[in-house]
Amino acid sequence: MTRKKDTDTPSWVQNLRMLMDEQGYNPRSLSLRAGLNATAVRDMIEGRSRFPRYDTVQALADALDTTPALLMSSPDAAADIRAGGEAFGRDIELLTEIIARLQETAAETGRELSPREFAAMAATIYRRLQESGEAANRKTRLTAIKPQIHDLLEYEGLRNKKAK
């Protein structure tokens, strides 16, 4: 079954639907395959869950044999990722994870970051992971990213306090 493209639907939901159709999943079967609540995918498709957490996106991408960056991207961005080759794809995946986790952590801690602060933190974490060699392994990245985000948020908080 193919669906016609809906311009009001986010591209990541369109990608999700397309991959589900291609692989023969219904919302419940994909939710369960990804280890999510049985209604999680249905809620996403119906717009009840507009911005899934990175862990959820990763679980869906794993179940659909794709990557979070490709699942969440626009068609043009997906084409650029594919054309960039394997190393470019790994860099995009790393940046995607850093950005998603930084957004999640800032929201969880009630911190509002300026675009400049956000970009500086994401770049710092990316550079540290690349330099340490922790960028290659997804499990290592997970344990390495969160503490760095908390350290940078704490540092920014102290720096902003001093500036006042």
26-84 pLDDT, tens digit per residue, is 999 999 999 999 999 999 999 888 788 888 999 999 999 998 888 988 888 888 888 88
CB atoms within 10 A of CB 67: 20
pLDDT, residue 155, reads: 84
In a 13 Å sphere around the CA of 18, the CA atoms on its Cβ side amount to: 16
On average, the pLDDT of the chain sits at 86
Residue 111: which residues within 8 A CB-CB, separation 6 or more? Answer: 153, 156, 157
54-63 vs 85-108: helix crossing angle, rounded to 10: 140
User: If you ran DSSP here, which 8-state letter would residue 9 be given?
Assistant: S
At 3, the pLDDT band (50, 70, 90 cuts) reads very low
At 164, the pLDDT band (50, 70, 90 cuts) reads low
At 7, the pLDDT band (50, 70, 90 cuts) reads low
> Hunting for tokens 């992971």 — which residue is that?
129
CB atoms within 10 A of CB 61: 20
pLDDT, residue 122, reads: 93
Q: Which residue has the higher pLDDT, 21 or 158?
A: 21
Q: Which residue has the higher pLDDT, 54 or 5?
A: 54
On the question of pLDDT at 12 being above 70, the answer is yes
Contact 111, 103 (CB under 8 A): no
Give domain limits for the chain: 11-75, 85-163
On the question of pLDDT at 92 being above 70, the answer is yes
> pLDDT for 135-146, tens place per residue?
667 667 767 888
Whole-prediction pTM: 0.69
| Superfamily for the 11-75 domain | lambda repressor-like DNA-binding domains (1.10.260.40)
